[in-house]
Structures are given as C-alpha cells and as structure tokens.
Structure 1
Amino acid sequence: MPKTPKLTAMLHAKCPRCRRGDLFKTSMYGFKSQKMFDVCPKCGMRYEIEPGYFYAAMYVGYTLNVALAVTVGIATYMVTNELESPWVYIITILLASFITAPINFRYSRVILLYWLSPKVKYVAHYDHD
C-alpha cells in the first residue's frame, strides 16, 4: 500500500500520524456543529496534545482571516474601483468571512497539527486500511 501524501491528508482533514483517520465527525458545511474526534479512529492518536492545545488554532485562524480580508478587499477594489464608500468593502469582507468560517475553523486546526506541532510525526506503519 503506497503511503498517503501529506497534502492529500491535509486537504481531507485526516490524522497527521496515520493519514487515514478523520479529524472531524461531521462534514464541513453540515448543519451539525464542527466536532472533532478526541482520538484518531484508526491509530488512536490523541488530537488535543495538552489541555487548551487548540487555542493556538485561533491565531492561525486569525491569520487566515486577515489574509482573506486583504485579498477580498483588493479584489473588490479591482472589480468596483470604488474608493468613496467603505460599506462596499465592509460588506464584501464580512460576507466572505462568514462564508469561509467553517473552512477557516477546520483548516486552522489542520495547519496547527501538521505544520506547527513538532511533536506530531507521520508514522508509516499506521498508514494502511
């Protein structure tokens, strides 16, 4: 069985240790709340490494949201060429932030686990069906 590529596992929000188990119990845009598994259903890795571990994901999410706001602001200017009314920018940025909130929530945790956690390593012998 070939090993699962890291980018594929990140995009599908899989466990960083085995790259097979799901991180979240529900779909991204479902009507249920965004709940994570406590441990990986495949390899048993505990996702919350220490108490309050995912508070750091708020900083990652904030960074993603600022990048989104700047991008949407520039795109709004390029499309509308409007400099007089700040409401055009406020409405488009807030709308984009609300629409991408579930993506931001999930991927801030995925980025924290995959890139910003030196203790979490991929273990190839868990990467099987």
Structure 2
Amino acid sequence: MFTNSSYSKRFIKMHKKCPNCSQSLEPEPGFYTGAMYVSYAFQVAIIIAVITTTNVLGIDGSLEWYIVWIYGLHSFQ
C-alpha cells in the first residue's frame, strides 16, 4: 500500500492504485468530510445522552465526572 518502508522519512506516501490488482487506493471525493460529520453526530449524541441521563437520575457530577463518562462511552463507538 505504501511506496516506501515504514522506516523511511517518506513513510506516508501511497500508491494511487494497488500494484497487484489495480484497485484505486484513493477514497471518493468528500469521503473524509462525510466521515467527519458522522463522527461529530455520534459524539454529540453521546454527550446529550450522558447529560440527560445524569439529569434524570439526579446526579450532580463535576466536569471531570462528565469527561470520564463521555470518554468511556466514546470508546465503545
């Protein structure tokens, strides 16, 4: 997939097509933008779920408490 070895300074340079099967290794236009929006939506949903759950249960957590729970739930994503 990469043109150089992993020990090279130009490690991240990639082939445009697979040398064996000629499949394109470049994503479609807008691929990373779409992935960014989906990831952002998941993160917002997790934050809203944690805050809503703690308010319903009557838990008054500190900022650190929220960060730990959001990070913990985000790791399952």
The normalised TM-score by structure 1 is 0.33
Partner residue of 2:59 out of 78, 81, 98: 81
Q: Give 3-state SS (helix, strand or coil) of 2:55's partner.
A: helix
String of CA shifts for 1:62-87, please: whole Å, max 9, x gaps. 1121111111122123235215x222
**Preserved contact between residue 73 and residue 93 of structure 1 (Cα < 8 Å):** no
**Preserved contact between residue 68 and residue 97 of structure 1 (Cα < 8 Å):** yes
Task: Point out where structure 1 has 5 or more consecutive residues left out of the alignment.
Answer: 1-47, 101-129
Between the aligned partners of 2:55 and 2:66, the Cα distance in structure 1 is 8
Query: Which residue is 1:90 aligned to?
Result: 67
- The answer as to 2:75 corresponding to 1:59 is no
* Count of aligned residue pairs for this structure pair: 52
Q: Give 3-state SS (helix, strand or coil) of 2:75's partner.
A: helix
Percent of residue pairs bearing the same amino acid type: 35
RMSD: 2.5
Task: Point out where structure 2 has 5 or more consecutive residues left out of the alignment.
Answer: 1-25
Query: Relative to 1, partners in 2 of residues 1:82 and 1:66: Cα closer, same or farther, differing over 3 Å?
Result: same
Between the aligned partners of 1:91 and 1:69, the Cα distance in structure 2 is 11
Higher-Rg member (1/2):
2
Q: Give 3-state SS (helix, strand or coil) of 2:53's partner.
A: helix
| Higher RCO structure (Cα 8 Å, ≥6 apart) | 1
Between the aligned partners of 1:97 and 1:79, the Cα distance in structure 2 is 20
Q: Give 3-state SS (helix, strand or coil) of 1:99's partner.
A: coil
Query: Which residue is 1:99 aligned to?
Result: 76
